[in-house]
Structure 1
């Protein structure tokens, strides 16, 4: 099973679980998995064999064809599982799964919502367009503007400017020597980090390419901050391919090499620990995840905001935002409620970061079955960053809410406005 099919199968499993109003923990107990493992299955980060898929399909009352696989002779047929007697309910179930599959697969097939990594960027990562060298000062200014687009969640604009920026930075690096070449490599690394982050927003596999090139340029620059930033995005691509343990080791090793006493390197060190915490949680390691969160929280007490092209903020608010996401992926969203109640999301440093934290808050409320609170958080995502609300992951969450809580006032309008109903059968929207 390739990464794409695992993601699509996970979307079907998630849709079936939500339809049956089951938690990830309940599915895990029935099928022999932890809640975090079910989360990884649903996100496509954990691959299952035939027998394991049959077991989950039987529990969720799914036929194997819904998962895109064929029965194997001698294996128990899923069709023998008792089906609902209500034909209308059965039709609604089939429509739900079709819609959930489409919503979950938006990142790899079908439409291109606002903010998707542009085809030009994908092409540029494999073959840069022709470009002439530019003065270093202008290159820094252009990269700062691109970073401002990312922080403001202007992903469409970012996707348009990145190919030219990468090409210009590469051309400038190739004609530079000495200290200036080191400086240009640092800027080139920052541009590739932006390309990786944009691709990660769309679960696009070219993030691997961008992150690897970012780290190569960063190491050539000799500057620890670009190295740390590049290591973080590379570790995220590792996590999304299922290599959680390796990613945690990589992140903690990189963090150890950074001077905690310096403002910028200390802040980057803290962000590496936060990413490592979430990665450990994704791998089901609760103890390591919470230990890293606590260590990061201690680090923030000694941090100050730093400015410049590689500005990195490390605050208690950001730690608390990560804590909510860690509890979500560990399958204990109820532990995130008191954290969310005291979290000052409005104080986070950018629309992108605020929207991401509202997304984690929406996932928390959705896992707890609170439809109105979920929609309220999703509306804050849209308010902070409209293009965030149109990303595949948010559209999938909106679709799940639409299917599981169709009577929540305003959900149909929100789903239509953000494109989440494009995958939904009309019968469920009437």
Structure 2
């Protein structure tokens, strides 16, 4: 890391490494002689530390010394810490060294992938996460209303609108949580967790590792709330970031452990459990563990069959039979057996899915399935459905790449070049 790196990145390095280890701020603090609140200030760059302290933290978290030693020295005093920190095993340390490397250079415009104005004007996503604008506490009902509006922007696949809403929502939610006590603090923490879930979802749309930071903060806030539904939702987005960094097995472990803590007979916790099992199934498939993936899919389907009239209320996904079918198609795509998803796709009524974002996801998985099977015409038809459901979704990098593959494939498809230009897959 060069000496010209911004100081704000240092907290991201420590926080993401702690997230990888699944350690709390309190646990890290005990290792190096700090309080949990001091670790929180270091991770949010509200407290600057000298090189010696950085190296002790790096040793505790398995970070190479080079990554933390090249930052400007702090101007103020530093709290003493203790030495004698154990070193984690080398494999975990190597994995942690890859986390967030260059990730925080990704801007919000790249995250939403729209090719239009940035979702957060004149700001990058990491600036939103590490330099929130000043916020004032708000009444819980007003805060909940703002969170609901942000959720609606996400489920409608209006990512520019969501990006514009996130800085104010996060700063207000942080301020409200910090000012509250007792039950009000738990409720504010739950709202804050869900706001960070949305930030993680938005970052994940571009496979940006900034999602690590948002997901970690989501889970920390959710655990403070003590509420099982936000905890499950935050665990899900954290596991997605783990899977996308190549840690599919770890993601499956996290998801199945969290699912085991939820009561399948209670409507809302049972619905969260289903979404965790579905995400675990896809994570197992990404790791080419066919037996585990299909077993988890079947378990999720059994949960849905036991709760055919389960209410909604989950934040970004729902636990329905249609959702199970979409995941089944995605699992077979990931396993390299797309032909096994064809009958599922033909029996799927995408119109039954309640949000544009989820309908676009269903058509995306079908586009990938048909492309893998060499049917360019069906793949292009599915992509057009994605555009109809969610114009910003089809401009994501993954879908632009799929469009480009079709364009330069062996089959000439009428209208494809115009579609590719319109969605940013190729230059005009």
Provide TM-score, normalisation by structure 1: 0.71
Distance 2:195 2:108 in 1: 28
Counterpart selection for 1:293 from 297, 310, 331: 297
**Deviation, structure 1 residue 202:** 1.2
Residue 320 of structure 1 pairs with residue 320 of structure 2: no
Q: Deviations over 1:73-109 (max 9, x none)?
A: xxxxxxxxxxxxxxxxxxxxxxxxxxxxxxxx9x969
Structure 1 segment 123-272 matched on structure 2, within 5 A:
123-272=127-276
The question of 1:355 aligning with 2:365 is answered no
* Runs of at least 5 residues in structure 1 that lack an aligned partner in the other structure: 1-104
Partner of 1:383: 388
Change (3 A) 1:336 1:302: same
In the other structure, the counterpart of 2:398 is 393
Give the whole-Å Cα distance in 2 for the aligned partners of 1:386 and 1:305: 30
Tell me the alpha carbon deviations over residues 226-246 of structure 1, each in whole angstroms, 9 at most, x when there is no partner.
000000000000001111111
Aligned twin of 1:44: none
Equivalences, count? 318
Match of 2:9 in 1: none
1:124 to partner: Cα distance:
1.7
The question of whether the paired residues in 2 share the 8 Å contact of 1:121 and 1:160 is answered with no
Q: Distance in 2 between matches of 1:379 and 1:310?
A: 27
Where structure 2 has 5 or more consecutive residues not aligned to the other structure, the ranges are 1-102
Separation (CA, whole Å) in 1 of partners of 2:152 and 2:199? 13
Q: Secondary structure at the match of 1:220?
A: helix
Q: Distance in 1 between matches of 2:146 and 2:107?
A: 32
Find out whether 1:338 has 2:343 as its counterpart: yes
Asked if the contact 1:188–1:214 (Cα under 8 Å) also holds between the matched residues in 2, the reply is yes
For residue 283 of structure 2, the aligned residue among 249, 260, 279 is 279
What is the distance in 2 between the residues matched to 1:337 and 1:206? 34
Is the contact between residue 120 and residue 160 of structure 1 (CA under 8 Å) also seen in structure 2? no
- Shift of residue 409, structure 1, vs aligned partner: 1.2
CA deviations 1:102-125 (Å, max 9, x no partner) are xxx9x9699743187644432121
| Cα 1:310–1:363 shift into 2, 3 Å | closer
The 3-state SS of whatever aligns with 1:420 is: coil
Provide the residue aligned with 1:100 in structure 2: none
Pairs within 5 Å for 1:389-428: 389-405=394-410, 407-422=412-427
What is the TM-score with the length of structure 2 in the denominator?
Answer: 0.72
Q: 1:253/1:117 Cα in 2 relative to 1: closer, same or farther (>3 Å)?
A: farther
Report what 2:378 is aligned to: 373
What is the CA deviation profile of residues 318-337 of structure 1, one whole-angstrom value per residue up to 9, with x for unaligned ones? 11100001100111111111
How far apart in 1 are the matches of 2:236 and 2:243? 11
